[in-house]
Amino acid sequence: MAGYQRSLPLYRLLTPLRLLWLSSLLLFTAGGLFILARDALRIDRALGPVALGHVSTARDLSNLQRELLLTQIKVKGFRMEAPTPGTPYSGFRLDSAALATSITRSFEQARAHQQALSARLGSPKGSTLFPPEMVQTFAEMQRQFTITDRLVTRLQRPTLTFNQQVAILGELDTDLIATELLVGELAYQQTQTEIAVISDARLVTRASRLSLGLVGLVLAAISGSLLLSMQHILKVEWQANERFYLAASAVSGAIYDWDMLRDHLVWTDGLTETFGYYLGEVQPTIKWRAGRIHPDDLPRFYQQLQEDVAAGRDFVCEYRFCTRDGTYLDVWDRGRVVRDATGRATRMVGSMADITERKRAEQALRESERKYAELVQEAPDPIISLNTEGCFESFNPAAERVSGYAAEQLLGKHFTAQPLVALGYLPKVVTEFELLIQGNERPPFELEIVNREGGVLAMEANPRCIQRDGTIAAVQLTLRDISERKAFEEQ
């Protein structure tokens, strides 16, 4: 997200008072530098390896926390992109390869830092360098890390269904949180250990000569000043990156940050990657953005924006957005509104995701279903559909002609409650239906139906299951009249 990585101005760190304070400390340090050179070797021999080990551990813990957080953000992004089972987006399926590659890449970085910690904390030297409770916490973190590693490995399987992917992502999200908690506890223990090391350093300093104590005091003051400066740096960086984390929690895509009070709009590089606009040529106003929305969708965009902001909910809207080459893409826009203490909307951080391919897939699916429905209606053979409860869901014209019943008389009613199936064949039909809805493939079977006039017709039923969103939703029976064949066989 290059749009949010800004360099920190030096004047924001070195204020006149802080500059004067640091200069005074440096002068004191220069005065005792010669004496410090004689005694520094003694302190370095006593504390150097310990300090180096803790500094390296703190660095690896910080890197591990960062990579785990990035992995969790990607997991949440994929979970938010995936529609809830049962929604109209029946043709949706997560891209398994992209999903596994993206999450695995971030997790491999975390694994590298975890292995570096293992080499340090898990070694015999680590048991003497670090306290027992920290080593114990690290062992728990390793066990939790192993569980998370297995989930990431399972996610790479190419044969996973949509529901399995969503379930694994949910487990992975929970395990990542548990791992982050253990890493946080480990970081806290590391901080406490560093405090103890600092205390030991003070004891060594007091035991040394007075000059070394004076220089150590100056160095401690410099460390305190640097810690304050680091706190200021972290605060500024957190503010600079806040919109990144807010936008990442909304949805992936072209992320924007809109200052609603000043009407100042900032985009990330996703605007170039998705829509072709270079950031340098984009006007930072909502007017520029609205000018790229399809004229037929623009009134609905403004109406939805006003309603969502007034209602205090996230802004969600689908519309067509013009790219740099003049073509329109279907986008799904979701913005999170930030309010001040009085409840006034001051910012909106959100994302515009390209859903053109998904819309085309949905249209193709609807067209395919329409054509199939036409084929069923025009088929010369009777075709009957039953939902998973056993009620009639469809009854084509051929079935009406053969049975003498109109579709309106049977739709929504259970097939066992109607005199359509001959009583002698009803148990067999019930058994076949139960096997079908359990997912078993069944061969054609024979049955007899009773038409409205009381005539008995021998039929051969060819069954198949109809799936929607990866689950069995109905059973379809294609019937063929075999009365003449049965009569010939009896002769």
Q: What is the CATH number of the domain that holds 459?
A: 3.30.450.20
Q: Give yes or no for a contact between 265 and 256, defined as CB atoms under 8 angstroms apart.
A: yes
411: in domain = yes
Regarding whether 269 and 201 lie in a shared domain, the answer is no
- Which conformational region is residue 312 in: left (phi greater than 0), alpha (psi within -120 to 50 degrees), or beta? left
Do residue 335 and residue 431 come from a single domain? no
Secondary structure in 3-state letters for 8-47: CCHHHCCCHHHHHHHHHHHHHHHHCHHHHHHHHHHHHHHH
β-strand partners of 354: 331
CATH number at residue 120: 1.20.120
Q: How many domains does the chain have?
A: 3
Question: Which of 295, 329, 359 finishes a domain?
Answer: 359
Domain presence at residue 57:
yes
Q: Which two tokens stand for residue 225?
A: 């000043």
CA-closest candidate to residue 50, choices 120, 143, 107, 152: 120
Closest CA to 73 of 331, 255, 276, 345: 255
Whether residues 399 and 347 share a domain: the answer is: no
Phi and psi (nearest 5°) for 470?
Answer: 80, 0
Q: How far is CA 70 from CA 249, 250, 314, in A?
A: 11, 15, 23
346 and 383 assigned to the same domain? no
Pairwise CA distance, residues 447 & 424, whole Å? 9
Q: pTM for this structure?
A: 0.39
| pLDDT digit string, tens, across residues 331-348 | 999 999 999 888 899 999
Please check whether residue 10 lies inside any domain of the structure. Answer: no
**Same domain? 192 vs 43:** yes
Is 60 in the same domain as 178?
Answer: yes
Handedness of CA 16, 236, 268, 292 (dihedral sign): negative
Query: Mapping DSSP to helix (H, G, I), strand (E, B) and coil, where does residue 320 land?
Result: strand
**Residue 229 maps to a domain:** no
Q: Identify whether residues 260 and 123 lie together within a single domain.
A: no
On whether residue 322 sits in a domain, the answer given is yes
User: What are the percentages of helix, strand and coil residues in the chain, rounded to 5?
Assistant: 60, 15, 20
Q: DSSP letter at 293? A: B
In a domain, 12, yes or no: no
- Same domain for 149 and 292: no
Spatial contact of 117 and 57, defined as CB atoms under 8 Å apart: yes
State both tokens at 20.
Answer: 């004067």
Assess whether 280 and 331 both reside in one domain.
yes
pLDDT at 272: 86
For residue 226, the model assigns a pLDDT of 65
Contact 421, 446 (CB under 8 A): no
Does residue 75 lie in a domain region? yes
Bridge partner list, 349? 257, 336
User: Cα–Cα distance between 344 and 352 in angstroms, integer?
Assistant: 24
| HEC sequence for 322-381 | ECCCCCEEEEEEEEEEEECCCCCEEEEEEEEEECHHHHHHHHHHHHHHHHHHHHHHHCCC
Where in the sequence is the domain holding 485, given as residue range(s)?
A: 379-490
pLDDT at 248: 47
Residue 348's DSSP bridge partners are: 258, 337
Same domain, residue pair 193 and 293 = no
Given the structure tokens 């304050």, which residue do they identify?
Answer: 228
- Alpha carbon dihedral 51, 55, 60, 64, in 10-degree steps, equals 120
Same domain, 120 and 268: no
48 found inside a domain: yes
The SS3 call for residue 245 is helix
pLDDT by residue for the chain (491 residues), tens digit each? 333 333 444 444 456 666 666 677 667 666 666 666 656 655 555 455 666 666 677 777 777 777 777 777 777 776 666 555 555 444 445 555 666 677 777 777 777 777 777 777 666 666 666 777 877 877 787 888 788 878 778 777 777 777 777 787 788 778 778 777 877 887 787 777 777 766 766 665 665 656 666 666 766 766 666 667 667 666 766 666 666 556 445 555 688 999 999 999 989 888 888 888 998 889 999 999 999 999 999 999 999 999 999 998 999 999 999 999 999 999 999 999 999 888 899 999 888 988 888 888 888 877 877 777 777 777 888 988 899 899 998 898 988 888 888 888 888 899 888 888 888 898 999 999 999 888 888 899 988 888 888 888 888 999 988 887 778 888 989 998 888 887 777 76
Burial 80-116 (b: 16+ CB within 10 A, else e): bbbbeeeeebbbbebebeebbebbbebbebbbebbeb
Dist. CA 445–CA 461, nearest whole Å: 5
User: Residue type at 313?
Assistant: R
Are 163 and 90 in a shared domain?
Answer: yes
